[in-house]
Every structure is written in structure tokens, then in C-alpha cells.
Structure 1
Amino acid sequence: MKFHYQQAFRACILLAFSTMLFSLHWTGEIKKLINPKYDHLSIAAALLFLLLFLVQMTRIVSFTHKREQHCQHCCSSHDHGTSAFTTRKFLSYTIIIIPILTGFLMPAQILGSTIADKKGGIMMLTKQQQAKIEDYVTSNNTAVENIYDHEPDPVLIDGRKEMKENEYELLRAELAKKEKVNMTEEDYIIYYDEINNNIAQYIGRRIQLKGFVLREEEFAENQLVLSRFFITHCIADANIVGFLSDFPEAITLEEDTWLEAIGTIDITEFNGAYLPVIKIEQWAKIQEPETPYLYPIDVFITS
């Protein structure tokens, strides 16, 4: 009987991956890393790693005569976990171990203004809206009418919430009639898309929303962005959504402070691009929401 140390080490790696994933689900930290829609996939991955660990356990100990008989029929390049520990193996193991160490030693963090700045911050918003709003401003600066002939594209990609096409259209139609737009967690992305695609229709409407403070150097003292992170799959593809906001007390607020605000939708020019802006009338500091991220919604096309 012979004990194979490398095979035992590989078993430990598999067990560590499984333990890490189960731990993230147990503590709820997984919500900070992936779209909740994929919870079942990460649990399946944890179970798969556990199964592979159990299979690997059978390779830790072997009987010499059985091993020699088997080796007569296998390729000479086959690794039974008993070959010399080379530099190549060391690099391979290091690449695998690093995610495990970071998973256990570095707690998951909520994305904030620092990441938003690295991703472009306000530049992302200006690029999203410049083409949509510029035609409106150049043609008529005061009229409040729907200048778009096309409907906003429904969100069709991997979302937390599911909705039939007729339900989606009904929600949009109801929004057009509301005197006050309430940006709830469930409806935020639908309303955000609708407002930005049809900004003229919503100028002068009141709006209530939550977000964290994002500020950039070129902002005036009374300006900030009430921001949210929009995640399709995981935090690696996170994008900033939100509204430029205008109110006198903005300069007193630190970045990453969460606010709930009520204001009026207007339009403004920023660095040559035209953006919707919220003229804040009431605001209050709030605790960071338990689930601070926003996710897309599945809209099922019905015949």
C-alpha cells in the first residue's frame, strides 16, 4: 500500500472549492458576486466539486502490485500523482489555489464609487443618452412630447424577474400615466429604460428613487449622480445606471452615501451631451439596501 501525497493535495483543492461555494451560500455573500438567477448553478458547481472530491479520495491510497499491472497498459506520459513535483506543476497549482485563498481570506465587498470611477462613471451615462436626447434638444427645448417613433427595447437577458410581454407593455403603459414615478427595486430597470428612451414625455414628472452618491471632478458643487450597479451575470460585467441630480446640499454628501430622494425630471447639458437630470426637492440618508444591485428582467415573447 502506498500513500500518494499529490493525489491527497488535489483532493484538498476540490474540497476547498466545494466548501468555499457552500460557505458563500450559507452566509449570503454569494449575492454580492452573482446574479441571483444563477444561484442554482453555483450550488450545482459546489455539489460537483464535492463529488469529484469523493472520487479523488479513492486515488490517495493504492496497492503497488495493482498499480504496476495497470501501468503496463497505459501511456508513459500518464500522471498517477507520483511523478516529480516540477516548476510546471507548481505554477498550475498556484493558479488554482489563488481563487481559493481570495475566497476565504478576502470578504466580498459591495461595489461603490471607486469601481464606478474605474468603469467610466458619468461618461457611461453620457454615452448611453447623448444620441437619444440630442435630437429633442436641438429641435425644441421646451415642448413636452414623445419624439420617438420606436418603442424601447425590452430587457431580454438573464434576469432575476420573469415577465410576459403583455405584462411588460402594461407596466410601461401604466408608467406613462403616472404623475409620480416610483423607482422600486422590481421596476427600476424598466422605468429607467423607458424614461431615457422617452425623456420628453417625462419632463416635469416627479420621481422617487434610491442610489449611492457618485461625484466626479467636473461636477458643479450642487451636482452628483444617484447611482446603482446593474449586473447581468456577475460583478465582472457590472455597469453604472442612475441619474444626474441637482440640489444645493450635494456638496455636503460623501461618496457612497445612500440616499432616497424625491424630485422633478428635467434635462441638462453636460460635457456636450444632453442628460436627464433630477431636480431634488426632498432627500434623506438611508442604510445600504440588503440587495443593492439591480438585475435585468426576462420578458417572454408571447404569440
Structure 2
Amino acid sequence: MAIGSRLRMLTEKVTEDAAAIYALYHIDLQPKWFPVFYILSQEGPKTITEIAREIGHSHPSVSRIVGEMTAHGLVAEEKDATDGRKNRIGLAPAGHQLAEAIQDQYADVEQAITTLSAQANHDLWQAIGEWEYLLEQKSLLRRVQEQQRKRTESEVQIVDYTPAYRQAFRDLNEAWISTYFKMEAADYKALDDPEGYILNRGGHILVALWKGQPVGVCALLKMDDPDYDYELAKMAVSPAAQGKNIGRLLGDAIVDRARQLGARNVFLESNTILKPAISLYHRLGFEKVTGRPTPYERANIQMVLDLQVPAAAQVQ
């Protein structure tokens, strides 16, 4: 976990030695200038953009280094012969003299590094290149985020509703509805009597537990409609548990329950101001539909998930 510190320590030691090596050979060059100096001495004048791309530095970083080297008399700007709008950076006469004087240092350093590499069990250059490639594909931050999600998800249990969760079912839903809208008659019917209004009519309620406490709920209502089988409703997650992917876990679980019940589809109603919820429904495979009467004043979008389409085709 201290890899950043270890790398900084190694960098500081190598940089300290590099400065001493330049002094040993009477080469007036700062270690941080070397990549720019080397590429210009080997390949000739280049634009700052070209230098940055070749040495893997940012454009501002190269600009600062070029500014320092210019003040030191080692490089100079010149107009591009083919495009007068561009300035190219090349070695000044003092830079060319330095490029000749540094050759003995190059030879001795290369031999010293070859000897050091032969004494090592691992190839540092290959390891650095491998790590750079892997981190370009997926950053360390993203890798840690994935592990965080896996760990938090492993702490979440999805269980079936029991009367012990009646108050949590009501409180979680009433909290989010009251935050954005107002409680309506259809809300009271479901929240006042979840057993009679949902479960006894062929519906299901799932509860998400985090560290044993109910932090999320979601209902699957049996619909009396020839076109739609079930409705996903009353999904709510405690603000204290947000960021733990509980909404996605509940959504996946309720959709799986609908599949187990042999449902053709799942319908839902929502409001487009609830952007995280709408995004979740899209990721689950729901698509916008219109035309069905709604008992909710707040509903301005209706969506349906076709369970007859293979799951892999619904969520890319």
C-alpha cells in the first residue's frame, strides 16, 4: 500500500545520484531536463507537442523544462521550415557542445546499469512498462473502486419481506417520496397494508440488509392488465446506505424474482427528476413506453422490461 512512497524514495535516490554523476563528468545539466535534452540531441528540433508525446510528459511540463533550458542557453526556438506558424525547439550551440561532452558519461552509465541489472532478479524496465500498460487500461483508482464495491456488496443481504420489516418498508418509502413529492392515495394503500395490498395479491417485497439493518426495499406488484404482468414499485434506499450499489442489487433481485415467476415483462412508473433511478432502470434494461393510465400525479415516465428478450441482449 506504500508503493507511491517506495517509488518516490527510489526516484529521489536515483535523481540524487544522477545529479552527482553529472557533476562527476562536469556536465551542467539537471536530471529533469535529460529526457528533453536526449530526444533533441538524437532526433533534432521538435515542437513541444512532439516532445511531450515522445517522452510521455504533459505539454505544460515540457514547456516549463524548455523555458528553463532556454534560460540556461541549451535550447532555442526556431520557425518550422514547412509551417511558419509553428515553433520548433532545437539544441543551441551550447547544447550541441554538451551532447558531445556527455558521450563518456553515457557509456559509463550504460555499463553500470547493465551490471546492476545483471545482479537483479527482476527486470525493472519490463516491470515498469508492464505496470504502465496495465494502469493505462484500468487506473489504480478504478481498481480500488471495484474492490470497494465487491466488499460492500458482500455485506448486503437481500431477503424476503416479513412483518418485522413493515415499519422500515413504510419509513424508507415515505422519506424519499416526501423529499421530492407528496404522499398520494396509492402510496398509502401500499405502505399502510403491504401484506394485503401487495403480498396477498401475488406480489413480493424484497428487503436489503446492510450489517443486519434494513436499508433498502423494493416491491413487485401483480398487475391486473393483459399487457403487463408485474410492476416494480416502492423501491427506496436509505441515504445512509447510498454508494453501496444497493439499488442495483435490489433491482437485479426483483427482476430475477419476476423471471422465476414466469413473468413476460415488468412495468414501472417514475419521474425524470430522479436521475439516478432512471439511470438504474436503463441499466436494468427498461425502455420507455406510453399510454397506460397512472394513479400517481408525480409520474411522468413509464418504462417496461421485456423478460422474453435474453438478459444479455437487454444490458450491454
TM range, normalised to the smaller chain? under 0.3
Tell which has more relative contact order, 1 or 2 (C-alpha 8 A, sep 6+): 1
Q: Which is richer in strand? A: 1
Q: Which has the higher helix share?
A: 2
**Larger-Rg structure:** 2
Normalised TM-score (structure 2) = 0.24
